[in-house]
Amino acid sequence: MTENCSTSERELMKSPKVLTLASVGAVALSLGLSACGGSDNGGSGSSGGGGGGSAVKFDQGSTAVVRPSDAKGGTLRFGQSDDFDSTDPGNTYYAFSLNFSRLYSRTLMTYASKPGKEGAKFVPDLAQGPGQATDNNKTWTYKLKPGIKYEDGSAVKAADVKYAIARTFDRGILGKGPAYFPQLLIDGDKYKGPYKDKNLDHFKGVTTPDDSTVVLHFKNPFPEVDQLVGFSGQTNPVPQAKDKGAQYALHPISTGPYMWQGNYQPKKGGTLVPNPNWDASTDPNRKQLPAKITVEAGIETNEVDNRLLSGSLDIDLPGSGVQAAARQKILTDPKLKANADNPLAGFHWYIPINTKNIPNVECRKAIVFAADRDAMYRAYGGEVGGQLSTSIQPPNVDGRQKGTDAYTQSTPGYHGDVNQAKAALQKCGKPSGFSTTMVYRSDRDKEKATAEALQQAEARVGIKLNLKGYPSGTYTGEQFGSPSFVKKEDIGLGTYGWAPDWPTGYGYLQPITDGKAIVPSGNSNPEEENNPDVNKMWNQVVTVSDPAQRAQIYNQIDQKVRDDAAILPNVYAKSLLYRPTTVSNVYFHAGYGMYDYANMGVATGG
């Protein structure tokens, strides 16, 4: 459901926002890469607020459109060290693939193309308006806008959307994308997809009363269908006659402002050209500015940065930030720095505290009280690397409220409260402290430094942490992500990180705090929080229709889990993105956690 930060190749494939690491996998040996979201070690110094004029400033793109322009023409050049997991919008999970696929695909809903927190909101795309929920959030109806056409001029019909959703049921042919539809729609376990069952009428999960109406039928109440149909490309219509199954990715039929010229060549690249049948008047979320968009795959990791800096590449597709070498260069050169952004990437690096191995809440509180937040913050690179966290949900989650610092503080220079920690230990019945195991990903220097900082801080109150590192490839699947392993090794806490599929409290918190989310392997709730109160709130929230009301409940859950001392907040990851002067209309998109690719232009004469 949500996103798990880990570097294993397997995990990477699954995790949209982490994919840089996947791409980097090959070269990871050469450089000590930082973790998922981005973070760094280096100075900082943001240039402060607004200010007019044309001069660009450091971090300006994090909150505003840089070089806004509607000038057409030019070639926009994308590059990446690895490749898309797929160019088929219905078969991709990488955030950057989803972001990029907006250039040639449209879905029922989509992220608003706006800088700042607005970007995390969903707005109608193919649909005329947000979904109409009936039957206690179990039936959702969308009306298609009239006049939407494919690249060949033929009309988009509701049945094509149904077919697009149906094909994601064949996990053997198209297994890489999100699996929400087979899991949530009715008959999800019976219907095997249109490749094995050619009769689409057998697919009951989606019905199309007429050519412009799409109705989704859910087994159970589900409140965030607008997000569900908007975050991925799986509701982008596919004309059944043109579907080539596993090979459709080479040239998915476009509904967006651009279309593939010939075929995309996996691991090599491809070219997008303007789609003459795209109508801007139906699509406020995309622009058709460049005359051509090229993608090159398989560029050496550091070379991607070099090309960005030298102006021969416009955008690093994965969008997770520059490598250590380029980061150093950018932060020390004011000219380069003015063309860089340092936004919150969407990840939160936090410390789950296992409620099974440390069952007494007072003992868990002692750990939280004694933690040296300042040292842990510095382990992640200080100001450029991240922001001290106050809640479990990171700031770009819709409706998230700043935390109340239950046992900890996010004020700079806060080194923990030894006295309170000792008091908590008294209450726990272990006045002289106790010892437990802390795990971390051994190939991530920042996590190691975090664990060591925590070890030192806890030692002040007599809590002895035995540190154990495991390779990131198996960490979230087989070690910290395996409750039986956690039990066997008596693991008390560990380093962890999380980013959501879509930025709501449900997307962020449900997989990491709901008791139902505890699974035997790949467990995303390693603190094994299984609080009846929390579980009850999760069961209730799905029937609440008002997003603001739901957000309220999410904040309560967030608070509750912190009260339980099941999660020690640490740092919201920040990435360092370079925005070449060759691009216009560029801004950081909160929904994708990188620049918005569907609205860029090529800057001229600059």
Residues forming the site for another protein (CB under 8 A): 1, 3-4, 9-10, 13-15, 25-27, 30, 82-83, 93, 167, 170-179, 182-183, 189, 195, 243-249, 266-268, 296-300, 302-303, 306-307, 309-310, 312, 522
3-state secondary structure of 250: helix
For residue 96, give the nearest of 23, 145, 41, 29 by alpha carbon. Answer: 23
For residue 105, give the nearest of 208, 256, 216, 273 by alpha carbon. Answer: 256
Distance between CA atoms of residues 544 and 558, nearest Å: 17
Q: Give phi and psi for 60, each to the nearest 5.
A: -65, -35
Sign of the CA dihedral running 191, 193, 198, 203: positive
3-state secondary structure of 94: coil
Residue 185 identity (one-letter amino acid): L
**Cβ distance to another protein smaller for residue 195 or 414:** 195
Distance between CA atoms of residues 537 and 529, nearest Å: 13
Tokens of 140: 């959702």
Q: Which DSSP symbol is given to 598? A: G
Q: Which DSSP symbol is given to 245? A: G
Tokens of 428: 């726990």
Distance between CA atoms of residues 344 and 592, nearest Å: 11
Residue 571 CB, nearest distance to another protein (Å)? 24
**Cβ distance to another protein smaller for residue 296 or 372:** 296
The answer to whether the CB of 548 falls within 8 A of the CB of 505 is no
Residue 353 CB, nearest distance to another protein (Å)? 24
Q: HSE, CB side, 13 Å, CA atoms: give it for residue 338.
A: 8
Neighbour tally for 404: CB within 10 Å: 12
Angle at 322 between CA 319 and CA 326, to 5 degrees: 160
Tokens of 550: 């739901």
Distance between CA atoms of residues 566 and 494, nearest Å: 11
Neighbour tally for 80: CB within 10 Å: 25
User: Which stretches of 344-394 are assigned E, i.e. beta strand?
Assistant: 344-352, 386-388
The answer to whether the CB of 195 falls within 8 A of the CB of 167 is yes
Sign of the CA dihedral running 353, 355, 357, 359: positive
For residue 64, give the nearest of 74, 54, 76 by alpha carbon. Answer: 54
Distance between CA atoms of residues 493 and 506, nearest Å: 24
Element spanning 120, H or E: none
Close Cβ partners of 6 (under 8 Å, ≥ 6 residues apart): 12, 15, 18, 36, 441, 472, 473, 475, 476, 477
Distance between CA atoms of residues 399 and 551, nearest Å: 5
Please, what's the largest Cα pairwise distance for the chain? 75
Tokens of 66: 């840089």
**Cβ distance to another protein smaller for residue 313 or 561:** 313
